[in-house]
Every structure is written in structure tokens, then in C-alpha cells.
Structure 1
Amino acid sequence: MSTYEMREIMQTYGDYLTRLSYVYVKNWTIAEDIVQDVFIKYFETRQFEGRASLKTYLAKMTIHKSCDHLRSFKNRIRILENLWNSMPSDSMPSTEQQTLKKLEQNSIANSVLQLPIKYREVIVLFYYEELTSLEIAALLDTSENTIKTRLRRGRALLKTSLSGLQLRGDFFE
């Protein structure tokens, strides 16, 4: 694989995979590291068989890597350290921090990020990435009925957490 092809793949899918990883890990720096690891593994192993699109294959790798990170002991220690050492920063916020702040200010996005992971991932993939329930089922290696159930339960949880806001009704239908 040429350097040009590698660059093209990274430019085409990098932002999408970073946003996808962020949905899981809720940290832009870690999400970027995970995506970098995914690209390295993809370019080193070249195990892509073409049974799905390259985007789906890389997304699945990213989801697995993000879940591995969430289960890791290192991540659990980092969360505890952040709780104990939460000190305000006097420096100028980075672009990622500004983006995160804007995202946190958005009530719907914030509520989605507070959902349990199994509901959060299907809500994000269905509404933000506009995948069908069948595509999500293939991506997450689960049945379509399970995806539909998670969507229904995720919507119910969101409706409860957002009950005080005036929202378009079609989101919850």
C-alpha cells in the first residue's frame, strides 16, 4: 500500500472514527490515540477481506478498541485521578476543549452522552451517523431486534431526561 493510499484512507475516515471513538471514551485525546492505533493495526495486518465496506470495518475496529480502553485498568485509574485532581486550568482552552464545551452545552448531546453505552451507541449510530437498524446490527454483531429494542429503550431514557425541554416530537417516535 502506497503512502498516498494510506493518507487518503486516514483523511477520508479519520474524523468520523475519532467522533465515533469519542462517543465511547468521552475524551478527544484518547479518541485520537485509539484511531491512530486502529490505523496502525489496519496498515500492519491488512486483514480486511472486503466483506463489508472499509468504513464499516474500521468503525468496528474503533468500537472494539474503544471498549477495550473503557475496560482497561489504566482508564479506571485515570478516571479516579481526574476526580481527585480536578483543578481549574488557567491556560487558554484548546480547540478540542472548546468543542467539548459546546457539545456539553447542547442538552440533547449531553443527555445522549449520559446514556449507558449500549443505548448511547445505537442512538448515535442511528440518529447522528444515519445508519439503519440492520447496518447497526451488522456493525455491532447483534440481532436487528436487539438494536430496535435498544433504540426504543434509549429513546425512553432520553425522553425522561429531556422532559423539561421543548423538542421536536419526531426524535422520540
Structure 2
Amino acid sequence: MINDDGELDKRALLDSFIRDYGDDLKRIAYLYLNDLAESEDVVQEVLIKSYHQLDQFRHDCTYKTWLIRMTINQCKDFTKRWSFRNIFYRQELDEVHDQNLTENLYIEQESSYEMSQQLAKLPAKYKEVLILFYYEELTMKEISEVLQINHNTVKSRLLRGKKALKDKLERSDWIG
């Protein structure tokens, strides 16, 4: 976005990042970190960093790809911190007080929770490909661009990641 002076309007661009990609970035961070508050912090850091680095954007990818790459890198950095390693990983499901909540909805919530717990335990190289493919619905080509790896590596990690997730779910008695 260019202002009347022919310069990059960083504020307007940041607003469009938040509006157009904010939810996607939060979802990626949450699936990666499995902690809502921490994922919101990561996204905030990414948006601040993107604002300050807009002049350095090379236009060799889309803004969305650039922001997703920054989010994944920020999540990786966050998980390396000592404080993150000492957080009790499992968060309890919210207590169900609503008497109108159906059993199916409760089972669906529990299933989704178990899936995200097991996904979070996968090695980063599998977790990030699965998140981008299934949750963000990126193509293999887009994933290749975001992660800066070749197309065949994406395919391989996707297959191995699915197998690893299936094995974890079977061991947790989630699936048969």
C-alpha cells in the first residue's frame, strides 16, 4: 500500500495483515504451542516485527507466506526458551456447566483436544507441515515456499507426520 507521497504506508499494511491474516496466524501459533495466551503473544511479536521489517521485504513470496514463516520461526524460538519447557503442557478442558451441552459436542471437544495434544508432541518438521496442510489448507507448493524446503520433502514429511500422529493416537487409545 502506497500513500499519497509514493511511500509505503506501513500502518495501513499492518492493519491489512491483522484483518486478513491475524486469525490464520493465531491458529498456526496455537496449534504449534498449544497455549492460547502464548500463541497470541507470538502473533503480536510477529506483527510488530513485520511492521519494522517491511522495508526489508523482498517480494519473492506473498505477504501471507512471509507472515506464516515468521510465525513458525517465532514459535520455534519460543519453544526453545527455558520458561516454555517448564510449563505444564496439558491444559485441562474447561468445565462443562452448560446442561444443554450434548454428549456428541463433548466428545467432539475431547477428540479435538486429544488430536491437538498429540499433534503438539510431534517433531517440529512434521507438526508444521501437518498444520499448514490440514489446518491452513496450503498447497504443497505453498508449504514448500513457506518452509523453504523442496516439494518432495514436503510430501515425505506429510506422509511421515500422518503416520507418526496416527501411531500416537493409537497409543493413547484415541483410535482403535
Give TM-score, length-normalised by structure 2.
0.72
Report the equivalent of 2:140: 133
Report if aligned partners of 1:119, 1:151 keep a CA contact under 8 Å in 2: yes
Q: 1:41 aligns with which of 46, 49, 56?
A: 49
2:50 is aligned with what amino acid?
Answer: Y
> Does the 8 A contact of 1:119 with 1:154 survive in 2?
yes
Classify 1:2/1:138 alpha carbon distance in 2 versus 1 (closer, same or farther; 3 Å): closer
| Segment of structure 1 superposing worse, 61-70 or 5-14 | 5-14
Q: Aligned pairs, how many? A: 152
Task: Kindly indicate whether structure 1 or structure 2 has the higher relative contact order, using CA contacts under 8 Å at least 6 residues apart.
Answer: 2
What residue ranges of structure 1 are gaps of 5+ in the alignment? 93-100, 167-173
| C-alpha displacement of 1:74 | 2.7
1:47-104 residue CA offsets vs partner (Å, 9 max, x unmatched):
222211111011111111110011112322x42xx37xx99x99x9xxxxxxxx9755
Query: Do the aligned partners of residues 104 and 36 (structure 1) sit closer, same or farther apart at CA in structure 2, a change above 3 Å counting?
Result: farther
Q: Any stretches of 5+ residues in structure 2 without a counterpart? A: 1-8, 98-106
Task: Among all aligned residue pairs of Structure 1 and Structure 2, give the percentage whose two residues are the same amino acid.
Answer: 35
Is the Cα contact below 8 Å between 1:104 and 1:110 reproduced in 2? no
Residue 123 and residue 8 in structure 1: after superposition, are their counterparts in 2 closer, same or farther (change >3 A)? Answer: same
**Which protein has the bigger helix share?**
1
Q: CA RMSD in A?
A: 3.1
TM-score, normalization by structure 1: 0.73
